[in-house]
Chain A
């Protein structure tokens, strides 16, 4: 089947699913990778008029905000410390007046796996390694794996500066929205679900469909979601069964549980939300970079012009922000959403639509 026939097929199916619905339907995706695939493939153009697919807070770097950049900068500026980060953190504007990024001020090593930080610490016993990490369940579980290794090897020169986020409490918050901000359903993140399982999303107030990342899989998931909404069924369905299981990955969950506990956390756009973050359990304070280096949590003031918070909450679409594409572009971003590889504004800008080709 040619691509245009496929597109036609999905357009019809999606329209059919909401025929008879006379008011707008707002559904939300909460995963940076979904944000990107949807924008790059132009999937929104296949949705019927009355359905709005909103990008929510699926970008961990964005919801952590500029404060984390400042905390990482403090660590990286300490003598004898090698700061190791994922590349995404390198170009996020900080909270200082000049909004300098980590790339501009501090020598941070970019890694693609938290294991690289472990290996560096092992091979450079004279250096103190600080792994600065943000993310959801997949990165969290990989980091828990690294901590298990660090503990086994009794590593003394390794510590973690983290701001991992826990999605579920924020989903519950979003699901309880009313009126114009009310949501009818979620497209749920497939790789978070690979770790936490279908169980991680049980009991959501509005329907959700767990989805993978190929365009057709996403379209299929959206179709299933619209059908659930149309039928008034508040359940969660799994459309990524080859990788998402009812109970997720028990080994990963156990490791997370061993090293981390849910804690209140500030999410940009939401304020402090109970249980929406993870902190190292007290018995692992030895690996806590905040404690080891006396780094205080910094509640940074973002640029007063920046409306990332509203974008993350889903109440403002990127194109409607007055700074979008003008003062705020990936070359000179005002906020994280425009420069993070998972940011909604970045996706909207990079893949912005023009007239049909």
Chain B
């Protein structure tokens, strides 16, 4: 399933797993696919695995692009 959620790594353990959290929900997930991820990183979780790291700079830029697009509109 395509369903994947961004969550923040709270801690990484020695067993290639991490506890991730978002809005009061915590899960233990595998870092097998993202071994370099560290505490504090936002990662995309799919089926109990972190499949990619979120680039926060890009996320911010995305929002900025949208704002620019809408700039000049009557609010």
Contact = CB atoms under 8 A, between A and B. Distances in A.
A and B: real partners? yes
Interface of A: 1, 5-6, 9, 13, 31-34, 58, 60, 86, 88, 112-116, 135-136, 138-139, 141-142, 145, 148-149, 189, 191-192, 194-195, 213, 216-217, 220, 239, 241-245, 248-249, 251-252, 255, 341-342
B38 interface: no
Shortest Cβ-Cβ A-B pairs, 8 listed:
A113-B48, A33-B2, A145-B32, A242-B59, A241-B58, A242-B58, A142-B49, A194-B52
A144 B75 CA distance: 49
A342 B69 contact: no
B25 interface: no
A45 B4 CA distance: 26
B17 to A, nearest CB: 9
A251 B43 CA distance: 15
9 contacts: A113-B47, A135-B1, A142-B46, A142-B48, A189-B2, A241-B62, A255-B32, A342-B1, A342-B2
B2 A136 contact: yes
B69 A191 contact: no
A217 B6 CA distance: 15
B39 interface: no
Interface string B43-75: 010111101101110110110011001100111
A242 B44 CA distance: 10
B16 to A, nearest CB: 9
B73 A142 contact: no
Nearest to B33: A252
Nearest to B45: A113
Interface of B: 1-4, 6, 29-30, 32-35, 44, 46-49, 51-52, 54-56, 58-59, 61-62, 65-66, 69-70, 73-75
A194 B44 contact: yes
Contacts of B75: 1, 5
Contacts of A341: 1
B4 A115 contact: no
From DSSP, what is the main secondary structure of chain A's interface residues? Answer: helix
A242 B69 contact: no
Given A32-B2, A141-B33, A248-B52, 12 more contacts: A1-B70, A5-B73, A9-B70, A32-B1, A33-B2, A114-B48, A115-B30, A141-B51, A191-B44, A242-B56, A242-B58, A249-B52
Contacts of B61: 241
Nearest to B17: A115
Contacts of A138: 1-2, 4, 46-47, 51
Contacts of B47: 86, 112-114, 138-139, 142
A112 B48 contact: yes
A14 to B, nearest CB: 12
B2 A242 contact: no
A251 B2 contact: no
Given A32-B1, A142-B46, A191 B51 contact: yes
B58 to A, nearest CB: 4
Given A138-B2, A243-B44, A342-B2, A251 B33 contact: yes
A220 B69 contact: yes
Contacts of A88: 1
Contacts of A189: 2
A255 B69 CA distance: 40
Interface centre among A60, A142, A342 (most CB of B within 10 A): A142
B66 A220 contact: yes
Given A88-B1, A135-B1, A241 B51 contact: no
A189 B4 CA distance: 12
Given A33-B3, A113-B48, A139-B47, A255 B33 contact: yes
Nearest to A133: B47
Given A141-B33, A242-B59, A252-B33, A191 B2 contact: yes
